[in-house]
Amino acid sequence: MATRGFTGRRPPEATRERLPPGQYLEQDFPVLQIGPNPRIDMDRWSFTLREGSRPLKSWNWEEFSALPRTAWRGDIHCVTKWSKFDTGWEGVSVDDILAAAGISAPTEYLLAEGYDDYITNVPVADLTGPKAMVATHYEGKPIEPDHGGPARLLVPHLYFWKSAKWVKGLRFTKKDEGGFWELRGYHMYGDPWREQRFTGD
Amino acid sequence: MIDPVARPLPWQTATLLAIKPVTRRVKSYRFRIAFDRPILAGQHVDVRLTAPDGYQAQRSYSIASAPGADGTIELMIEGLPDGEVSGFFDSVAEIGDTIELRGPIGGSFVWRPEDGGPLLLVGGGSGVVPLLAMLRHRAAAAPQVPALLLYSVRNASEIIAAEELAVRARDEAHFDLMLTLTRAGGRRVDGAMIGEALDRLGAPRHVYICGGNAFVGQAADLLLDAGIEPGLIRTERFGG
């Protein structure tokens, strides 16, 4: 259905090819979150792998910072319609986290958990490979609190609500359990290229 | 609070029923639209415009109207000079036009009458729109719930729903309004202002903050400094 009188402002073709459907290119870095930035005491920061409620392995900040480093540069896509190109991140890949824990993933699904009690579900296969990292640096600098620092999950091939800010751990689950937004009408998987914004998309 | 919505969210055709100026840059747009699920105060809709060649643009806008059963919603849209979609609304849209939208969307920045209060609402600029929906809903469905709106705008000409808010503050026994103008020797929201809001309202059970990114970040920090539990605070932001 064409909208009367709407012509739109098409981005250049090179931009359009990189934009998933319904997205627009943003130069700034918008901030989306459900509440205040959590106040995190770095002396007590930890990152923990759990299976259900059972801890499998935990690192403090110093230990986590000593894990092998990974860098990634590319495009990110937020379900609120903005995309940002060529973003540069560094951190520890989920593959390296599992290797450092000396385990393979015990289940096929997990929930990423944030210090703000936010949770979001991601299939393990979308984190390994290595498709995802726990990022600590953005464009060469420690990630600012507004963008999820000191550490956030980065799963760039899914809508950015999956990249939990202020991440404190990954909890393996037997089933694919919905997280905060997934229980509020948002898509369980969230592939921007298939425009999976909401349930049923 | 959790209300899983397992049904698909279809695009629907909405008819534009009325356009009214709100401020110099913001207009009110009332649409006829029947959703297949109830609206919660604070939710938004996605709007999709389509060019003749199929090119589409989508944006999200907060619902300003209280949840109701009359089959209409009100959006308030600020006409931004470079806005691909807001510019269409500002200079092209006419009564009788049809556009596609879907919703209602969002289950975090929402208030239901049974959530109760006291309710502290902190809005910056056009961030007041979802808070207005909450105030309208509260007045109709739970007028005994104490509520205070702390509303920061650059200057008086940019106050959204200025007359409505003044009338509510005058006529509604449990609604209190604190307005601050930030330009021309005005004052930004600061710790003392948050302290006064908390004194006037009492300890809030729910806090909703909406506005530009810097505004929301600062207001949230001031509320944490004032001892408000982070879990009580819900935020919604726009802009980079």
Instruction: Compute the CA torsion angle A54, A149, A84, A201 (nearest 10 deg).
Output: 30
B83, pLDDT greater than 80:
yes
B240, pLDDT greater than 50:
no
Q: Does the distance separating the beta carbons of A117 and B231 come in below 8 Å?
A: yes
Q: How far is CA B77 from the centre of its chain?
A: 11
Three-state DSSP class for residue A49 = strand
Q: How far is CA B158 from the centre of its chain?
A: 15
Write the pLDDT tens digit of every residue in B20-75.
Answer: 999 999 999 999 999 999 999 999 999 999 999 999 999 999 999 999 879 999 99
In this prediction, residues B192-199 reach a mean pLDDT of: 98
B189, pLDDT greater than 50:
yes
In this prediction, residues A106-129 reach a mean pLDDT of: 98
Percent of chain B with pLDDT over 90: 92
A3 chain-B contacts, CB cut-off 8 A = 49-51, 88, 97-100
Q: Is B107 on the interface with A (CB under 8 A)?
A: yes
Percent of chain A with pLDDT over 90: 98
From A21, A34, A185, residue closest to B105, measured CB to CB: A185
CA distances from B222 to A129, B136, B209, B231 (A): 42, 26, 12, 15
Interface test with B, best of A39, A119, A184, A201 (most B CBs within 10 A): A184
Is omega for the bond preceding A142 within 30 degrees of 0, making it cis? Answer: no
Q: Does the distance separating the beta carbons of B13 and A3 come in below 8 Å?
A: no
B6, pLDDT greater than 90:
no
pLDDT at B184: 78
In this prediction, residues A92-100 reach a mean pLDDT of: 98
B181, pLDDT greater than 90:
yes
Q: Which residue of A has its CA nearest to B56?
A: A22
pLDDT at B7: 83
Burial of A6 (0-12, 13-18, 19+ CB in 10 A): buried
Write the pLDDT tens digit of every residue in A143-157.
Answer: 999 999 999 999 999
CB-hemisphere CA count at 13 Å for B27? 20
Interface test with B, best of A31, A87, A117 (most B CBs within 10 A): A31
In this prediction, residues A77-106 reach a mean pLDDT of: 97
Write the pLDDT tens digit of every residue in B112-127.
Answer: 999 999 999 999 999 9
Q: What's the CA angle centered on A54, arms A51 and A59, to 5 degrees?
A: 85
B1, pLDDT greater than 80:
no
Q: Does the distance separating the beta carbons of B107 and A183 come in below 8 Å?
A: yes
**Residues B105-142 as b or e (16 or more Cβ within 10 Å = b):** bbbbbbbbbebebbbbbbbbbbbbbbbbbbbbbbbeeb
What global pTM score does this model have?
A: 0.95
